[in-house]
Structure 1
């Protein structure tokens, strides 16, 4: 029991439900771990230890109420939590305390989970490097001089170090997948609508989704089963309940492999790690084929809709940080013709990929084009000798996939020679979340990389 903080949510749930361990003991193990390692990585930025302990004591006094009864969880600082400070990583909201829980938080609580605090994020989740002017920088637990990724970087670092077994995150351009890759944990960008998005300003916006993060795929599936499900306040919420596929393994599945998602530059160390993935699937009985992709329509679609959203969501705020302000300015430049061009591009791409997935069950590719980069650098400026035009460009391997309206998981794929984590991205056709997690689980179990913990 000395390593309670590194047990999975699935294991902890079983131990608590069978009274082999109490919710108080589980929570205390995680609070001790937070005290031990959080000062070095800065992942949990608002801790509610007393509130969490009261909830754990209450959980021990009653019969289990749900599949996460007594299991600790942390929420991204973009996610509203009633009575708990939620800053969105912005000095403009440094003292903000919401009156109402986000839908994801309500569903986790209803399943019995216990909130321990909030995890760090860049301002309004802007970018795949977790740093802001409220709480500072989140560091990579595998190398404290490196980035933990973003924008769910706090969640990924907290999971990797055993501070919590589950954490929620969000993903517009890779914010669930990139930090999972950088921190050797698992993250799922679900099909839009799988986890309903309830919004009063952009109810039909499908590029941004919420989803689960964990240290293994079984926990991703467990958490997804809790936070997914229809809600009529989301106009594109999926009505069918999520359920894991009954089949296991990947024998006979058709796996497409793209080392660069259609010509993107990829760092040599990252490429070497991800190139080991096809052989794993072949050993497991899948039929693997390297494919040539054309995803360039995703570039104009993503950048146009992202810019439009930033102007809509944050355009009336003064005092924004540089990255957020840059996105807002790009949004103010968007015209009706730009939106038409983006919609045509995204529609072409969607139909092209629908045909693609008639031939393949999943697509595997790098999550990120680089391994974790130096934490003091604001973003990646060049990859494999290719200069990049702006701070967004290094994330194309993630944000091009966001445009596909498809589920995509990041699972640990190995380590660079210097010990930095690298993830592989498993992408399915829209609505095939269960298939993606089935394939991810088979890969995880075959490789064992997810069992590796950082040397803190």
Structure 2
């Protein structure tokens, strides 16, 4: 594993963890205006190279009231361009909505602002979030700061890059097929896909579906836990909303994890393809964790019909959204999205019922698994980033990919079974690209998952790296 030589030339404030900056705000040592100035300075430095924060709302941010005694205390942050923010251009990465300015914010944005968050910008996403390479016809491509010739994954690519470059301290993401986890993996930051209902994520039209969720992205595990605290809690606007735990996630994450039982699988019983390069990085990282209270064994439960269940769930989401979207928008959709819609229309009611049976079976299997293990560890993606011009890999480790979804198979399990999953940076490829380890926890087990992740983060002793973009 080769850790590249990096530098960070941004403002000193931008290099501090979010929780430290919040302490400065609460003590009156800095103001939100100071942080906005620092963040905008950093954006001006790096945005020409990476294209991550595609819309800034500086005046709105300066005018946003925020109490110093609130959870986030006036900390500027980013919201993905799939999520409406009142009065701020929100394009969903599609030409048909290029000039869309919503009159109201998504409930999650309102909650974050109530808890002291200050929206400073919208981060880039592929068109309507479809695809794990962040590019669209409105803003163009987001580039990986570790090598700007490479992609940053997606669909929360702009969010991940904004964190890795030090433009923002916290950035919001969303995830259906790894859209939050893959960019975290490729950019060397932490991304958490929560259990459904923890942090919103259901559309107004399909409020009871639970494939897509929203979640926190940050530079380290404790900041990720802090941001989840700012998102979590019951809200009747979300039909599947779930209350926040009595003990904040950040407080639990800091506690001694005790005995930790990890099962590692490199390919989910042969289900997902992985290159030897990625497998080597992950195994090396796990082998270096020499803690008496951490046991690691190679094991994976049986996961029959995982592919079929995921694809059915995704088809339902695509068709549900498409049916209520005007033709003036849908006619601009890229060919891969049109292919998704064709797949959805080809499915039958019997297919969807079978998918629900499959999901229940997989959930029950995983529920039994977590009686003897704390987390299932596996890759986030099976290969390193590709050149930004390549939409998706057509093969991985010699295995042909049927479509642009196939290479994301490591993401399917958490989505299908409704489990929390986190991408934790653990090393680098020989070419110097970050590699993350996916940790999957039990249903609504975010607190324990964050605790385990923090334990591993400390054991690996990989420092948070803020980076000036490296030209590829």
> TM-score normalized by structure 2?
0.92
Seen in structure 2, the aligned counterparts of structure 1 residues 198 and 260 have a Cα distance that, compared at 3 Å, is: closer
**Which structure 2 residues correspond to residues 403-418 of structure 1 after superposition, within 5 A?**
403-418=416-431
Aligned 1:216-365 pairs, distance under 5 A: 216-241=220-245, 243-244=248-249, 245=252, 248-263=255-270, 264-283=272-291, 285-315=293-323, 317=327, 318-319=330-331, 320-365=333-378
Q: Distance in 2 between matches of 1:97 and 1:329?
A: 30
Q: 1:383-437: per-residue Cα shift (whole Å, max 9, x none)?
A: 1111111110000001233112111011101110111011001111101100110
Q: Secondary structure at the match of 1:328?
A: helix
Q: CA distance change for structure 1 residues 138 and 20 in 2, over 3 Å: closer, same or farther?
A: same
- Whether 2:42 is the aligned partner of 1:29: answer no
Instruction: Name the structure 1 match of 2:139.
Output: 135
Looking at both structures, which has the greater relative contact order when contacts are Cα pairs under 8 Å and sequence separation is at least 6?
2
C-alpha distance in structure 2 between counterparts of 1:284 and 1:113, whole Å: 39
Residues 182-226 of structure 1: CA deviation (Å, up to 9, x unaligned): 000000000111113453211111110000001011111111111
SS at match of 1:146: coil
Q: CA deviation at 1:2?
A: 3.9
Q: Which moved more, 1:9-18 or 1:395-404?
A: 395-404
Q: Which runs of 5+ in 1 are unaligned?
A: none
SS at match of 2:402: coil
Q: In the alignment, what sits opposite 1:204?
A: 208
The CA deviation at 1:23 is: 1.9
Quote the residue 2:444 is aligned against: 431
Provide the rounded CA distance (Å) in 2 between the counterparts of 1:247 and 1:19.
25
Give, in angstroms, the shift of residue 260 of structure 1.
1.5
Cross-structure match for 2:462: 449
Looking at structure 2, the residues matched to 23 and 284 of structure 1 have their Cα atoms a distance apart, in angstroms, of 43
Alignment partner, residue 17 of structure 1? 26
CA contact (8 A) 1:76 1:118 kept: yes
Counterpart in the other structure of 1:151: 155
Query: How far does residue 48 in structure 1 lie from its aligned partner after superposition?
Result: 1.3
1:274 offset after TM fit, Å? 1.0
Given that 2:174 and 2:212 are in contact with CA atoms closer than 8 Å, whether structure 1 keeps it comes out as: yes
Q: Deviations over 1:57-89 (max 9, x none)?
A: x65xxx514111121101000010000010001
SS at match of 1:418: coil
Determine the C-alpha separation between the residues in 2 that align with 1:384 and 1:131. Answer: 25
Once the two structures are TM-superposed, the CA of residue 283 in structure 1 deviates from its matched residue by 2.5
Q: How far apart are the structure 1 equivalents of 2:276 and 2:242?
A: 39
Distance in 2 separating the partners of 1:2 and 1:279: 37
- Structure 1 stretches of 4+ with a deviation exceeding 4 A read none
Q: List alignment gaps of at least 5 residues for structure 2.
A: 1-9
Change (3 A) 1:88 1:247: closer
Q: 1:265 touches 1:386 (CA, 8 Å); kept in 2?
A: yes
Distance 1:88 1:284, change over 3 A: farther
Contact 1:185/1:216 (<8 A) preserved = yes
Of 36, 39, 53, 2:48 maps to: 39
Specify which of 53, 59, 62 is matched with residue 53 of structure 1: 62
Query: Bigger shift: 163-172 or 269-278?
Result: 269-278
Q: Deviations over 1:228-264 (max 9, x none)?
A: 1001222221134362327734442211111222212
Is contact 1:119–1:155 with CA below 8 Å preserved after alignment? yes
Match of 1:101 in 2: 105
Q: Is the 8 A contact 1:152 1:176 kept in 2?
A: yes
Aligned counterparts of 2:244 and 2:161: Cα–Cα separation in 1: 32
**SS state at 1:180 partner:** helix
What's the Cα RMSD here?
1.7
SS of the residue corresponding to residue 255 of structure 2 reads coil
